[in-house]
Amino acid sequence: MSEQPSTARRVVIVTGGSRGIGRESAERLAADGHTVVVNYAGNRTEAEAAVAAITEAGGTAMAFRADVADEVAVSALFDAAEEAFGGVDVLVHAAGVMSVTPLVDTELDALDRMHRTNIRGTFVVDQQAARRLRSGGAIINFSSSVLGLSFPGYTAYAASKGAVEAMTLILARELRGRDITVNAVAPGPTATALFLDGKDEETVSKLAAQPPLERLGRPEDIAEVVSFLAGPARWVNGQVLRANGGII
């Protein structure tokens, strides 16, 4: 392993970093002074736009395409980060897919797609991170507050995120002695394109009224939690942080 850098400036891989919470997290981490590798699955234009926004603001970033469920591609992602910046200190695994349908109506193809990206993808990316992160590093996975809310229609998605939480809590203990923290962020309803897609105004208004703060989360709210876990939060480990405005 390379020499541990200061936590003031780290090399961070953000999967799903071209859009939504992933992009907001990438830009926040770059603003914090970290070097960022923006991973994307297919939308090169948006990934390059994220990198351009970071560099125009004075940060350092690069984009790299990799399917998070493909172990060869993910290994190449870590290789590229190490070759460009000397090592990797933080993984923010924000890539994920969601399909909202009652269990009885869920197509098995949709279930398999969520399983591949959300479960296998987390396993593959975390495996590389566990092997290659430098001492003092951090792994930040993404779960969801729907596990506690038990919203109808989210059976398959919530099940996939339950697996993410299990992996997070166990990996934190498997990395004993490495000085690497492993946590998960579980957002509540957050105003991203992924969340808003297919919801009418009445549904969105009802969800926004549920937290005591009486609004939807914003991507920057979640990025703030990611920033905390990626930098100063060295005594927070093996936890799921439910960033949901107090909805549960």
Q: Which residues are catalytic?
A: 157
Tell me, what amino acid is at 75? S
* Length, in residues, of the chain: 248
How far apart CA 120 and CA 24 sit, in angstroms, is 24
Question: What are the structure tokens assigned to 167, written together?
Answer: 């992996």
- Provide the terminal-to-terminal Cα distance of the chain, rounded to the nearest Å: 41
Amino acid at 214: E
Could you tell me the two tokens for 244?
A: 């949901």
Which residues does 17 contact at the CB level (< 8 Å), separation at least 6?
Answer: 23, 25, 26, 36, 37, 38, 39, 40, 47, 50, 92, 94
Q: Please list, residue by residue across 121-157, b when 16 or more beta carbons sit within 10 angstroms of its beta carbon and e when fewer do.
A: bbbbbbebbbebbbebbbbbbbbbbbbebebeebbbb
Three-class SS state of 103: helix
Do residues 57 and 30 lie in contact, with contact meaning Cβ atoms separated by under 8 Å? Answer: yes
Looking at residue 116, what DSSP letter applies?
A: I
Q: What does the alpha-carbon distance between residue 207 and residue 96 come to, in Å, rounded to a whole number? A: 21
∠ CA(207), CA(40), CA(145), 5° rounding? Answer: 25
Residue 239 CA from chain centroid, whole number = 14
